[in-house]
Amino acid sequence: MIYQEWVAKTKWFSEETPLNKAKASIAIGSGDNGVVTTTYDNYGETGNDYSLEVVVGSGNNIAMSAELTGTKITVTLGTGVAGAVDDTKNTATLIAAEITALDGFTATASGTGATAFTTAITEDVLSGGQWGTPCAEVNSIIVGTSYYYICTTAGNKDTVVWKRFTLSTY
């Protein structure tokens, strides 16, 4: 039989519950094949400073593109020979690939990614990026209001891993 030592600790952090690290992201578009989810590549709150906007290209036969200026990603939808948005240039898959080419970001398209973006999308911020609650000792247990939390990987704000669990009888 393997013996595992669990250590109950007094909460040493100010949050209601311990946090795991997370990357900031944003989802744009709609439908099973037309959502592009863009994620900042690094953990922490820094990704929450970035925003994303979709604009319609101005002119004839404009290529779809994505550009990062400061903390803003601008996706410019491609147009055809008559200056109208060209569905073949603006599928979710193509937009995701263009955003992924930017340094520091990864984007994925939902489903087949075949649905085209046809209109502008107002600028919005990435969200959800956070640092983890540091933990110095593996198997430290914190008692929360509804759950228990155990530190399964001790470390600092960008390496720690917390798991949530409840007790039950059998």
**Residues 113, 72 share a domain:** yes
Q: Percentages helix, strand, coil for the chain, rounded to the nearest 5? A: 10, 40, 50
Say whether pLDDT at 1 is over 80: no
Tell me how far CA of residue 96 lies from CA of 11, 83, 131, 132, 163, in angstroms.
41, 23, 26, 28, 32
Q: What is the pLDDT of residue 15?
A: 85
pLDDT at residue 38 above 80? yes
- So what's the pLDDT on residue 2? 60
Q: Are 115 and 48 within one domain?
A: yes
**Rounded CA separation 97/120 (Å):** 18
Whether residue 9 sits in one domain with residue 27: no
Q: Which pTM does this prediction carry?
A: 0.86
> How many angstroms from the chain centroid is the CA of residue 169?
37
Whether 16 and 28 map to the same domain: the answer is: no
Domain count, the chain: 2
Q: According to the model, what pLDDT value does residue 3 have?
A: 60
Do 108 and 32 fall into the same domain?
A: yes
Q: Is residue 80 within 8 Å of 60, Cβ to Cβ? A: yes
39 and 111 share one domain: yes
Find the domain containing 170 and state its range.
1-21+132-170
Q: Are 165 and 104 found together in one domain?
A: no
54-98 pLDDT, tens per residue? 999 999 999 999 999 999 999 999 999 999 999 999 999 999 999
Q: Which two tokens stand for residue 60?
A: 């004839």
